[in-house]
Structure formats: C-alpha cells, structure tokens
C-alpha cells in the first residue's frame, strides 16, 4: 500500500473534523472533512454512516502507519451550484415604503 492507491475501508467513527476508517486489521485511517467533497460539508453524516464501506485514495502514510485518505478524489461529489437570480422588482418596495416610514417615524401608535 502506497500513496495514490485506491483502497476500500469501513467507516468506524465520525467526528466533526472527519471520519475514521478501518482499511484492514492493522491499518486505520482518517478522511479529513476537507477531503469528503469539493463543496462545503456541514455534516459528515450526510455522506457517511458508521459501517459504510467506501472507496478511498491514500494521500499519505505517516511513520505510525496512520493513513490520510481522500473520498472526493475517487467519488464524484456534488458541488453546490450557485443560482443566478434576477429580481424583477428590485428595490421598488423600498423606494415606495421609505417615504411612508420616514413620515411615520416617531409617531406614537396609541
């Protein structure tokens, strides 16, 4: 096993910063939250559940045999798409209401 290899692993734990993975009996790894998707990941449990078996790419192996893994390099993840919104009325309600608000400012409702 080396950097760049694609492996299968079982999700064994989920923390706010990433998911722990068991690759085999002796090797554990971590998928950092930044390696789950190209888009913003608010909740890792939207992608993984404990017990899931997933394909991952090995990013690095340190001296303690801890493995850094990437999910997004092997699996297609949905990026959030930005929608182009065209307002038809724009600031017209503000233009209409502002003079009324100014006129009524400071007047008591009783």
Query: Could you tell me if 20 and 28 are in contact, meaning their C-beta atoms sit under 8 angstroms apart?
Result: yes
Sorted by where each begins, the domain ranges of the chain are: 6-70
The pLDDT value recorded for residue 14 is 95
Among the listed residues 2, 71, 80, 5, the one whose alpha carbon sits nearest the alpha carbon of residue 32? 71
Asked if CATH classification 2.40.50.140 holds for the domain at 6-70, the reply, yes or no, is: yes
The pLDDT value recorded for residue 83 is 59
Q: One digit per residue, pLDDT tens: the chain, 110 residues?
A: 888 899 999 999 999 999 999 998 888 999 999 999 888 888 899 899 999 999 999 999 988 778 999 999 988 765 555 556 666 676 777 888 888 889 888 776 65
């Amino acid at each position: 096993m080396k950097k760049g290899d694609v492996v299968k692993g079982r999700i064994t734990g989920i923390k706010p910063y990433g998911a722990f993975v068991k690759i085999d009996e002796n090797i554990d790894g971590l998928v950092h939250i930044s390696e789950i998707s190209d888009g913003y990941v608010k909740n890792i449990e939207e992608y993984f559940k404990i017990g899931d078996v997933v394909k991952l790419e090995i990013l690095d192996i340190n001296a303690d045999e801890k493995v850094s893994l990437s999910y997004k390099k092997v699996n297609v993840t949905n990026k959030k798409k930005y929608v182009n919104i065209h307002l038809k009325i724009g600031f017209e309600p503000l233009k209409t209401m502002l003079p009324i608000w100014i006129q009524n400012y400071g007047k008591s409702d009783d």
